[in-house]
Amino acid sequence: MTISLNGQWQLTCVQRAALQDLHIDLPGDVHSALFAAGEIPDPYWATNEKKVQWVGECDWIVSRQFDLTEAQLACNAMDLVMDHLDTVAEIRLNGHTVADFNNMFMRHKVDVLSCLQVGSNRIEIVLHRADLAAKKRADKLPFPVPWAEGNNQIPHMNTLRKTQCHAGWDWGICLSVLGVYGDIELQPIEHVRISHISTKQKWLEQECELSVTLNYEVVSDKGLATAAVTFDDQTFQLTLDRDATKACVLFRIVEPRRWWPAGYGKQRLYDLKIEADGSKIDKKIGLRKLELITEDDELGQSMVFKVNDVDISARGANWIPMDAMPARMTDERYRSLLEDAVAANMNMLRVWGGGMYEKDIFYELCDELGILVWQDLMFACALYPSTPDFVAEVRQEVEYQVRRLKDHASLALWCGDNEVIGAISWYPESRQNREKYLVNYDRLNRALAEVVEQEDPSRRFWASSPCNGELDFGDAWHDDKRGDMHFWDVWHSGKDLEAYQSVTPRFCSEFGFQSWPSLPTVKTFAPEQDWNITSPSFECHQKNSRGNSIITEMFTRYFRFPNGFVNMLYLSQVQQAMAIKTAVEYWRAHKPTNRGILYWQLNDCWPVSSWSSLEYSGRWKQLHYHVRRFFDQQMATFIRDEQGVKLHLINDGRDSAELKGEVVWQSWAGEILYREPISEFLNPDSTKVTWEWLNEDLEGHETEGFFHVHLRNGEKLIENTYFPAKPKECELEDPDLRFEVAELHGEIFVMLSSSKPAFYVHLEFEGEGRFEDSSFTLVPEHQRQVKYIGSASVDELVQGLRVYHLKQSY
Ligand code: BMA
């Protein structure tokens, strides 16, 4: 029986005598414990980030006592197992040093039986400060290896196998956290140690053959070790051969119920249970075929994930670590973020390489919810050593992670790193000696590829994100003909939003646009005197040096300048939504050239100005409401080209769809100047241009009104709005917007109506919950009843509801 050492531990600071034997909960982190003990202020509040830097500049000891009985020690080995140990740590048991660890991405395991005793035992974990360890490693490198300057506030994090954004990022607080974020256990071993279980699916027409391999190590030569392997309702009993290290069982499943990504079908998961030598392992297995197809074509090379022989249009975002204080990463928050991804019609997330290999719960939820996972290995925006020591350490890490994660149906791709190919051109050392740094890159990258190919031949290894393809070190920031692209010409290079339509990426794995947080989130980190974009609190919560200027400057290009702080926040979220919408709708209309869109970024790890669509609190930004519409399987969008404004209909579904409704051209006063019915039948996985307004009929009238499409797909509403001119050029009228909160059949609705069109009508509630829809166009002839999803009462909603629209922002 496993003995858990999770729970209450003591925390002692090596350098500060006053900080002795404080309480710390493990799994947990030092900052969270100090905050709970009142020793540091809330690191996320105002400019407290600066005040807590000393924490990461100390060494810490976490310790506890635990009792063991004679019966518990009557085994042949006792493994101390630790997950997510961050990072440079010495482990002492009853005064003996049993291990030195320094890789946060490993599951550390060491047999400690000889150091344990009946009765009271003491374990101590010395957590060394990361900055000095990183510097020491950097000093030993044969040549300088540039670290992620510009993102990291602490140098040389690239030498340590630790979450790279712990040292700060262009959306991340720098805390240099330390702690143990996973379980700490003692695992007694009788006869065999099961190292890992591995499954393989082989498909023959309508049949799947599942092989299950137990990898084990014999610890004692006395007694027989047996195992029982159960898949669904079939069980095999095995005797484990003492001279072997593997045992394999084959299951044949005829006409299995398959696992599909969200939107393409159900997520059927089968139970796999293994019981061996007293330990139990449970897995959920989704049976599906999954391939990444990259084929030369007339444009360059395709990039498409195929699941069960169906081409998937991947739609989603980039995932960063959920919290800068890891103790706050709870299962409930994982669920709620991932459910919000699926609620916004996503079917893929990219686990970004500057964060961490996520916790098991993340992948379990992705299996359950149908979210494909693009998994980066943990390297980002810096160059990395290729010394034998470093490569050997990383090999072990990747082997462990691939073995841990490969049986998840949701896992779609192993990708070597984030932007490391690109980073070769960023730093003076590597720019001046490109060959040397390219070889250095490839040595490490080759090792990663080898481990992945050996451990998981069922999936592709993609060298880097972005990358133009096998051994292609070209400019995947600008080449849209092949591979995955990171398109940052708008945000980082200052082009207009229309630049999104100058490329058609085969697969866009990053592009993004920042906004400021909503007022309720601002209140969680800024005192009222700092409710100003350039206040110290606000600037501390903007980590992209040009971020506030870019947002503000972009206002001047598209909008009338907002009046007051609250409207600046609101408009920044309108602008962000408009930016991402411009890109996504255009690229989706260019299916099948494009088969993947992942915007930067889904979530925040603390309350901050960033590219996210979900705020730290989980609150939906306006963008997330737009995402729900523009990622919907059926979508309608207006795109202007050399001929005119065209209405494109898109169906990503495996079934056909029938869309019925109308397009109108309407004045700002709400007068319908033109109306045309639309009735279209869409084939599965298709696009169609259904309507067009010629440029020659539009020229000279661009500022007079807007196009609006209102369609029904069965019960579902599909709407979209198009301004032929920039919003700042248009004389919007006061819509006379009215709203009222009402309860109908036990549900709460906000009823909205207006006498003139209102744009980006956004509902913001101070309390918990969200709305079924928001940030939409409200036209006089279609009043809206918007459902509130949450637990507040009608009264609370009335008290805390703010309704915005574009015209009132200036
Ligand atoms: C990307 C990411 C991150 C970064 C983001 C915004 O390219 O990979 O490094 O946070 O841009 O600048």
Q: Please tell me if the CB atom of residue 83 comes closer than 6 angstroms to any atom of ligand 1.
A: no
Query: What single-letter amino acid sits at 330?
Result: T
Position 173 confidence tier, pLDDT thresholds 50, 70, 90? very high
Compute the Cα dihedral for 370, 464, 589, 705 and give only its sign: positive
Whose Cα sits closest to atom 9 in ligand 1?
381
Position 773 confidence tier, pLDDT thresholds 50, 70, 90? very high
* DSSP assignment letter at 542: -
Position 151 confidence tier, pLDDT thresholds 50, 70, 90? very high
Q: How far is the CA of 396 from the centre of ligand 1 (A)?
A: 27
Q: What are phi and psi of 701, to 5 degrees?
A: -115, 5
Q: How far is the CA of 355 from the centre of ligand 1 (A)?
A: 12
The answer to which of 32-36, 111-115, 238-242, 460-464 has the lowest mean pLDDT is: 238-242
DSSP H or E run through 273: strand 270-276
Tell me the domains of the chain and their CATH numbers.
3-186 (2.60.120.260), 191-285 (2.60.40.10), 732-810 (2.60.40.10)
Q: Which two tokens stand for residue 722?
A: 């198009």
- pLDDT for 205 equals 87
Q: Please tell me if the CB atom of residue 477 comes closer than 6 angstroms to any atom of ligand 1.
A: no
Cis peptide before 677 (omega within 30 of 0): no
Q: Which two tokens stand for residue 679?
A: 């009735």
For residue 512, which atom of ligand 1 is closest to its CA?
A: 6
- pLDDT for 360 equals 98
Q: How far is the CA of 491 from the centre of ligand 1 (A)?
A: 11
Q: Please tell me if the CB atom of residue 543 comes closer than 6 angstroms to any atom of ligand 1.
A: no
Q: Which two tokens stand for residue 127?
A: 């957590």
- pLDDT for 279 equals 83
Sequence-distant (6+) residues with CB within 8 A of 48 are 40, 41, 42
Q: Are strands 226-231 and 192-204 parallel, antiparallel or unpaired?
A: unpaired
Whole-angstrom Cα distance, residue 534 to residue 536?
A: 7
Reported as a single tens digit per residue, the pLDDT across 624-666 is 999 999 999 999 999 999 999 999 999 999 999 999 999 999 9
Q: Please tell me if the CB atom of residue 260 comes closer than 6 angstroms to any atom of ligand 1.
A: no
Residue 712 CB neighbours (<10 A): 12
Q: Please tell me if the CB atom of residue 171 comes closer than 6 angstroms to any atom of ligand 1.
A: yes
* DSSP assignment letter at 367: H
Q: How far is the CA of 742 from the centre of ligand 1 (A)?
A: 43
Across the chain, mean pLDDT equals 97
* 248 conformational bin, left if phi > 0, alpha if psi -120 to 50, beta if neither: beta
Q: How far is the CA of 423 from the centre of ligand 1 (A)?
A: 12
Q: Which two tokens stand for residue 751?
A: 């009823």
Q: How far is the CA of 398 from the centre of ligand 1 (A)?
A: 23
- What integer is the mean pLDDT of 389-406? 98
* Alpha helix stretches (DSSP H) within 590-646: 622-630
* Farthest CA pair distance, the chain: 91
**What's the chain's Rg over C-alpha atoms?**
28
Q: Please tell me if the CB atom of residue 26 comes closer than 6 angstroms to any atom of ligand 1.
A: no
Reported as a single tens digit per residue, the pLDDT across 594-611 is 999 999 999 999 999 999
For residue 544, which atom of ligand 1 is closest to its CA?
A: 12
Task: Give the residue among 483, 461, 458, 771 at the shortest CA–CA distance from 628.
Answer: 771
Sequence-distant (6+) residues with CB within 8 A of 298 are none
Task: Give the residue among 630, 628, 598, 602 at the shortest CA–CA distance from 615.
Answer: 602
DSSP H or E run through 566: helix 565-589
Sequence-distant (6+) residues with CB within 8 A of 619 are 518, 520, 521, 770
Q: Please tell me if the CB atom of residue 487 comes closer than 6 angstroms to any atom of ligand 1.
A: no
Q: How far is the CA of 111 from the centre of ligand 1 (A)?
A: 41
Q: How far is the CA of 714 from the centre of ligand 1 (A)?
A: 40
Is a pLDDT exceeding 80 seen at residue 224? no
b/e sequence 238-267, b meaning 16+ C-beta within 10 Å: bebeeeeeebebebebeebebbbbbbbbeb
CB 210 within 8 A of CB 285: yes
- What integer is the mean pLDDT of 339-345? 98
pTM for this predicted structure: 0.98
- What integer is the mean pLDDT of 763-768? 97
